[in-house]
Chains A and B, each alone.
Chain A
């Protein structure tokens, strides 16, 4: 109220501010339009294809009929494998970087490496995985090789978000804990980590979600065109939703459009579901937090 009175005498400045703010507000609302548009479009076109048969059967008739079960299972395995490798490593690296690492040249190099890792085009990860895991370590095109490749891609996301949420825990918590005679690790384990868990979980889910949706890194390392059975060992190649989508929309002539949109919808629900879980965890933790 008071500030309004102060500004109104110079009404032109006030008007300019109003115009500026409303332009910014409109622009930020416009950001949501493409997202909502994409989701609605996919749901409208994909929903008719979804049925229990579509989700639970093997593809048949050169993928033009039947379901997409192996692709769903494959994406699930790949996400799980990625989690197994990248979550412990990423959290450990983040704890070291935020709690133990001294600020020196080496730490700076590690940080640059992590930032750089996040910026590399995903196809380069695919090449790297092909060179190291598939050929050099002789894992072949397999779930294992693909998961390892995806893990490397996911690591920077997990490390940076975990580090951020560890740093967000107030310094006073550490000081008080240490003053009670605990060791550094006890402080981290009992005081800092529990406070940071929601943030870490959010980061982990966001990283895994990216891994679940990627095509390029698994293109040469673990994805296969068609598999007549479900993968039954980590050394089997697998079908995966994003790659399956790429195949059926570019390589198979006369593909029913419905199946394509149905596949997109399944992938979208998978990724969006993870995203929503992450958002819920974060907002709940924020509401409960007392600092």
Chain B
């Protein structure tokens, strides 16, 4: 997906459907990393809360 954006962005005209699709790919990539990160931080946060409970 990253390579698609990189290789095709130079060849599309601004404003065409192809151009918008490339931006859409960017959004999808962003959402994937966002999802993974939110999940990871949620796990870490829950773990910390539990350890605080155990310690206190």
Contacts and interface: CB of A to CB of B under 8 A. Distances in A.
A127 interface: yes
Chain B interface size band reads 10 to 19
Contacts, number: 51
Contacts of B22: 127
Given A112-B38, A112-B41, A115-B41, A127 B5 contact: yes
Contacts of A119: 33, 36-37
A111 interface: yes
- Name the prevailing secondary structure of the B interface residues: helix
Contacts of A180: none
B6 A216 contact: yes
Given A219-B6, A219-B9, A220-B9, A120 B33 contact: yes
Interface residues of A, number: 20
Contact of B29 (A108, A115, A124, A135): A124
Interface string B1-27: 010011001100010000000110010
B9 A131 contact: no
A116 B14 contact: no
B23 A123 contact: no
- Name the prevailing secondary structure of the A interface residues: helix
Interface in A206-245: 216, 219-220
Contacts of A115: 37, 40-41
A285 to B, nearest CB: 29
Contacts of A120: 29-30, 33
Contact of A111 (B9, B34, B36, B41): B41
23 contacts: A112-B37, A112-B38, A115-B40, A116-B37, A119-B33, A119-B36, A120-B30, A121-B29, A121-B33, A123-B6, A123-B29, A124-B2, A124-B5, A124-B26, A124-B29, A126-B6, A127-B5, A127-B9, A127-B26, A128-B26, A130-B9, A131-B23, A219-B9
Interface of B: 2, 5-6, 9-10, 14, 22-23, 26, 29-30, 33-34, 36-38, 40-41, 45
